[in-house]
Amino acid sequence: EPHPESCPWTFPAYAPSMEERLRWLNWGWEMGKDFFSWPTLPEYVLRTSNTATERWRRIVCFPLHIED
């Protein structure tokens, strides 16, 4: 059973860098796919956790409902 805080409609993945994440996002949009970044973190996390912020900047989400 999925974790209660999981997001079953998307697959989040880390890109090696922010630039690579942007390439994935742009490619997805050009192909008509709904790729997206993770929603904004709370302000206190952005100010106090460099690790969380760096991870957040590299996340790209792939929706699980894509059909080809």
- For residue range 5-59, what is the model confidence (pLDDT) as tens digits? 776 788 889 999 999 999 999 999 999 998 999 888 899 988 999 999 999 999 9
How big is the chain, counted in residues?
A: 68
pLDDT on residue 2: 66
Closest CA to 45 of 59, 36, 58, 56: 56
pLDDT at position 68 over 60: no
The model scores a pTM over 0.85: no
| Of residues 55 and 1, more confidently modeled | 55
DSSP 60: E
Assigned token pair, 28? 């997805």
* Of residues 20 and 3, more confidently modeled: 20
